[in-house]
Amino acid sequence: MRTLNLGILAHVDAGKTSLTERLLHAAGVIDQIGSVDDGSTQTDSLALERQRGITIKSAVVSFTIDDVTVNLIDTPGHPDFIAEVERVLSMLDGAVLVISAVEGVQAQTRVLMRTLQRLHVPVLFFVNKIDRGGADVERVLQDIAGRLTPAIIPMGSWGGLGTRAATYWPHSAEDPDFTTKLAELIADHDDALLAAYVDDAKSVSYCQLRHALATQTKQALVHPVFFGSALTGAGVEPLIAGIAELLPASEGDADGPVSGTVFKVERGLAGEKIAYVRMFSGTARTRDRLRFGRGSQGKVTAISVFDHGSAVRHESVAAGQIGKLWGLGDVQIGDTLGLSHSTSDHHYFAPPTLETVVVPSRPGDKGRLHGALAQLAEQDPLINLRQDDTRQELYVSLYGEVQKEVIQATLADDYGIDVAFRETTLICIERPTGSGAAV
């Protein structure tokens, strides 16, 4: 089977985790749709995520569409956790960018789209919450065209906006307005089709237009727009069909040299390190000794791959797949396994601009606190843990106050360490702006 590594991205509260639940339910992975409000979703598995109703860590879950295994990566929408999104982006074959039909394009939406365009990641838009009061699809389409990209094509029509009866139906070959708009959009990047269409519009079949749409979407030249409601399920089936038709499956030679990238690190129940790896080439097997990072080596002791909603033990993970690897004790986020496949540093967003001092409530916990923060830094290197040896203080970098609250709760719940924070301050970096000489 082919594999598609798909990112679900959005500004916070646009409904991407609810959409993930709908996709899993429609694919038969789950019998009951979870709720963000109830803390019962598949991808928000951390207790803190369930309590707060937000995604904090990226999570992988899989489902099948026809002959394609989709590894869906649900990412945080809150800007305080943008580092989690950054690590995922270069792992993706395609993305669904979720936009609220009420709020429209928001700050994080623009940041995400700019980065996806820079990386040439194929993007489908899903305008969510068409059942909400205040939903205005026409305004959102203008918003997308004006603030994100003009290369869009609405893939259907809608009705009953702002009510629970809101619905969406796909355009068909019998819709002349749609075929005309589709031909005009595609012709911008296809001179041969433009010439044929101008010469005789009827000579260009609807099948040709759909094939060209799929080709250009996979090349990140155009961006189909779908509509619906993750709450009611309206428009989800057409989106699934669009994912299968319009987004590209992974490429890579399973028989080639091993090459993969670590995009997430977590600790297991026994404290063991688990590396999430996207394979770009070759096949990694249990008991293989792999090179990674800057000259480190490790023996793979176990592998899990994602299949039908869960991670299952497997003897190998091949090109295009995402796997969880055990045994690589010194591995870090961003490490390449085997041969490097890219020269990119994978840094697409601004680094944290805030800093604070972490103080244990009990002075005797200072050593344990350093160890706990070191483990958190494995999972999020951008917290930039450092120790002031003169003052014996521990500093961490932050994107915002919500991230600080999450660190505090994690230290208390997972490590049994109560902490307080000093006042958050801006990180000031001074650099020379020129050179001079004594006279």
pLDDT in tens, 181-228: 999 999 999 999 889 888 888 888 999 999 999 999 999 999 999 999
Taking the C-alpha atoms of residue 281 and residue 251, their distance in angstroms, rounded to an integer, is 8
Q: Between vectors from CA 58 to CA 133 and to CA 292, what angle results, nearest 5°?
A: 160
pTM, two decimal places? 0.89
pLDDT at 151: 98
pLDDT, tens digit (0-9, with 9 covering 90-100), for 329-338: 899 999 999 9
pLDDT at 46: 67
Taking the C-alpha atoms of residue 421 and residue 44, their distance in angstroms, rounded to an integer, is 26
Which domains are assigned to the chain?
2-246 (3.40.50.300), 259-338 (2.40.30.10), 354-426 (3.30.70.870)
Distances (CA, A) of 77 to 85, 95, 108, 140: 8, 14, 8, 19
| CB 311 within 8 Å of CB 324 | yes
Distances (CA, A) of 184 to 172, 224, 308: 16, 14, 39
pLDDT at 281: 95
pLDDT, tens digit (0-9, with 9 covering 90-100), for 73-127: 988 888 888 888 888 999 999 999 999 999 999 999 999 999 999 999 999 999 9
| CB 276 within 8 Å of CB 265 | yes
pLDDT confidence tier of residue 343, bands split at 50, 70 and 90: very low
Instruction: State the Rg of the chain over Cα.
Output: 24
DSSP 437: -
pLDDT, tens digit (0-9, with 9 covering 90-100), for 235-245: 999 999 999 99
Amino acid at 136: D
Share of the chain above pLDDT 70, in %: 94
- Give the 3-state secondary structure of residue 156: strand
pLDDT, tens digit (0-9, with 9 covering 90-100), for 381-391: 889 999 988 88
Amino acid at 146: G
- Give the 3-state secondary structure of residue 354: strand
